Structure 1
Amino acid sequence: MYISRVQLKNWRNFVEVDVPLHQRQFLVGPNASGKSNFLDVFRFLHDIAKPKGGGLQSAVDKRGGLSKIRSFHARNKSAEVFIRIDLSDFDREWSKKGGDKPPEWGYEIGIRTERPRSGAVVVSHEAVYRNGRKILRRPDRQDEKDPERLKQTYMEQVGCNEKFREISKFFSEISYMNLLPQLLRHSAEIQGKVVDDDPFGQNLAQRMQKTHKKTLETRLRKISGVVRIVSPGLDDIRPEPDGCGGYHITASCDNGGSKKNIRIGQGQMSDGTLRLIGLSWALLENSSVLLLEEPEESLHSEVVSVLTWLLNKALIWQKKRKRKQIFSSTHSPKFLSDGGVDAVEILLLTPPEDSGGGTKVCPLVDLRDIEVLLKIGEHVGSIATQATAPKNSLHIAAEFKD
């Protein structure tokens, strides 16, 4: 399955969003337009559904409370925050006949602050659809008798989600990777403090070590091949004991013509090498949806231009096992310049020109004159970045005047 549509109301930067999604989806927009907040919708659903430490209250608290989640463009402070996700079979995306068919699953959740003002967050709406037919709607009679039940979603409760556990499992398998090299490089000073779900790759070596040996060898062989091309002289990526009771990532390094190579640790690797290792591992890990933030960061422009091919290769490799969906934010036209990126795979995020509304989200394919631009040879990456560039970017240096 894949997420074929998302609808949002009053979520962070967005007052209202309703867009189709594809197996690969790229988010393009200026700084502070809400790319990270758009990705956080799916992390939020993961945090509700995950079996260990999950749940609605935990997911909201993790984000600083409902007041931090609700859009400041919302009409009032008690407005409902609403999310709807459609899940469809992968074959439907490429089927010309499947356009009018209802999605395989639909999940809706609305949340607001409980009244009177207790500060507690409650489910104001929860619904599940199976092939277009509603099979769950909340609040129900039991909720009316016992309002405390509304502090939990049915999705997070094993005793309540039997009929739609497939959705809960899908959400729980959503993953996020934005490896921060500094955290790996200074792991000794950090002393083992790791953010929940390890979104920044602090525990990447431990995750590698816990992987089944045969699977690990296959993944490391592929990762080493990528690193060997991008960082000549480095090879044989693998986790090794760090001497402090944990593990760190190491690589074989060409020792300047000596017959015997030396091994270096993650503290001696460049930012680009570490980010590439993290990206490659995330692409090979099992997940339903992989969320990426600007994977082009710290990489040479020529490497960036083939990253989408790397994504393609990973998706093809995963087809033999379990299909994956990838969402990625980017500021780089180079990242979108190859790999067969289609206009339907790019979402444009446009902030409001005044304070009266939220960020607008629309597919690049809906952009005015898009067909004309493509016919005259403009590439989708250039069109997308130009369409979302700040209007007065050339005046930035003038702000540093005497």
Structure 2
Amino acid sequence: MKITYLDLKNWRNFKAAKFALQSRMFIVGPNATGKSNILDSLRFLSEVADPQGGLQRAISSRRGISPIRSLFARKDPEVMVRVQLEHEGTAWDYALAFKSGKARDAVVVSSEVVKKGAKVLLSRPDGDDDKDAERLSQSHLEQVTANRSFRELATALTSIRYLHVVPQLVRESLPSTGSAKDPFGRDFLERLASVPDKTRKGRLKKIEKALQVAVPQLRQMDLVRDVRGTPHLRLRYHHWRPNAGWQQEEQLSDGTLRLLGLLWALMDKGGPLLLEEPELSLHSAVAAKVPQMMARVLQRSDRQVIVTTHSADLLGDEGIAPEEILLLTPTSDGTRATVGADDEEIRALMAAGVPASTAVLPRTAPENIAELDTVSLDSPG
């Protein structure tokens, strides 16, 4: 499944934003312009489509509609997320709009439209909604009794995966939240252990080879269970003591754990993969190789990968095209989203061989960044 277009209205930083998405996409912009919020709009639809989630749960997990609705919305109370996607040769168009209801904390569907190709399969509110307004508390996307004609779309949206591994959660082996979509690594080792042995061993062997490049001292990697059945990642390093023991995940560096999580996610099968700043804790030389890792994934599985980043090393890859860049710019009327290929300056620079790190990143620096040099950090008194 590939998301080809995203249209946002009054979603957090964005009063209005419309842009095309490629199989590989890099979202860049200054701090607090909404890079994470773009990923969250796709996570939101995925949660709505999940039969164990739904609209109300997706809203409540974000602390209600108020934090979601853009501060730039002014008189228009409606929030809308619309996607166009391709799945198994079929073009889909799904739009969900919602607003506050009459009851406290209530959220109601103001519009829900599903198109398959040129055919409209659903357009709400409909006559049944007019007769029973309570129906508007749920989307049809989340209801198996209502989404029969477009269940393929619902299934595709639930396949979206967001990943932002927090090494400390992996080390502490915290119990699973019960969600199959935990993005922070709480149940990362359980997820590895649940994969069939042959598949897991094959992936870990490939990851081991990749880690040996980034961590030359690494000798061997394995996954084992302790006496309580809890899975543990263990690694052995080349050492001055030839029979030195294994180290487990709590002894591994942040960078090693994050790189391992990134490599596993890229090798995993599924729908679009949303990655939050994958360069964190990685050596600059390793971060520079992430785009090529993504490219190899696309060649093998055609899985879509959408990334937020601040990294000049990552964006220095010469294979990145201007249409794979989404530049976010703060304005007095909300954040503006521009695809690199639609910006004349970026397009011209990258056509001349200038990498995205040089053509785009300077545009993301705060206007008055030099003033930081004059800020006094002396303690008062």
TM-score, normalised relative to structure 1: 0.89
Query: How far off its partner does 1:311 sit?
Result: 1.0
Partner of 1:59: 58
Q: Is the partner of 1:252 in helix, strand or coil? A: strand
Aligned with residue 231 of structure 2, among 247, 271, 284? 247
Partner of 1:226: 210
Aligned with residue 303 of structure 2, among 324, 344, 350? 324
Aligned with residue 328 of structure 2, among 339, 349, 363? 349
Partner of 1:15: 15
Query: Partners of 2:247 and 2:377 in 1: how far apart?
Result: 46
Query: Partners of 1:194 and 1:119 in 2: how far apart?
Result: 25
> Which runs of 5 or more residues in structure 1 are unaligned?
92-102
Where in structure 2 are the equivalents of 1:166-181 lying within 5 Å? 166-181=152-167
Q: Is the partner of 2:308 in helix, strand or coil? A: strand
Note if 1:141 corresponds to 2:127: yes
TM-score, normalised relative to structure 2: 0.94
Query: Partners of 1:372 and 1:282 in 2: how far apart?
Result: 34
- Gap change, CA 1:23 and 1:235, over 3 Å in 2: farther
Note if 1:294 corresponds to 2:277: yes
Query: Partners of 1:193 and 1:211 in 2: how far apart?
Result: 16
Partner of 1:390: 366
Letter in 1 for 2:78: E
Query: How far off its partner does 1:118 sit?
Result: 3.5
Query: How far off its partner does 1:203 sit?
Result: 1.1
Note if 1:165 corresponds to 2:151: yes
Sequence identity, in percent? 39
Q: Is the partner of 1:63 in helix, strand or coil? A: coil
Aligned with residue 86 of structure 1, among 84, 87, 97? 84
- Gap change, CA 1:62 and 1:222, over 3 Å in 2: same
Query: Partners of 2:345 and 2:310 in 1: how far apart?
Result: 22
Which whole-Å deviations, capped at 9, do the CAs of 1:304-361 have from their partners, x for residues lacking one? 111111111222232xxxx311100000121022261100000001112x3xx11110
Note if 1:273 corresponds to 2:253: no
> Which runs of 5 or more residues in structure 2 are unaligned?
none
Query: How far off its partner does 1:371 sit?
Result: 4.0
Root mean square deviation of aligned Cα = 1.9
- Gap change, CA 1:50 and 1:149, over 3 Å in 2: same
Query: How far off its partner does 1:153 sit?
Result: 0.8
- Gap change, CA 1:192 and 1:397, over 3 Å in 2: farther
Query: How far off its partner does 1:193 sit?
Result: 6.1
- Please tell me whether the aligned partners of residues 309 and 339 of structure 1 are also in contact (alpha carbons under 8 angstroms): no
Letter in 2 for 1:392: N
- Gap change, CA 1:193 and 1:285, over 3 Å in 2: closer
Which whole-Å deviations, capped at 9, do the CAs of 1:190-215 have from their partners, x for residues lacking one? x5264842211121110011111222
Moved more, 196-205 or 286-295: 196-205
Q: Is the partner of 2:315 in helix, strand or coil? A: coil
Which whole-Å deviations, capped at 9, do the CAs of 1:60-79 have from their partners, x for residues lacking one? 00000011111111113x61
- Gap change, CA 1:243 and 1:254, over 3 Å in 2: farther
Aligned with residue 290 of structure 2, among 307, 326, 343? 307
Letter in 1 for 2:255: G
Query: Partners of 2:322 and 2:351 in 1: how far apart?
Result: 13
Letter in 1 for 2:170: L
Query: Partners of 1:62 and 1:17 in 2: how far apart?
Result: 23
Note if 1:263 corresponds to 2:246: yes
Letter in 1 for 2:172: H
Which whole-Å deviations, capped at 9, do the CAs of 1:206-229 have from their partners, x for residues lacking one? 001111122212211111111111
- Please tell me whether the aligned partners of residues 321 and 350 of structure 2 are also in contact (alpha carbons under 8 angstroms): no
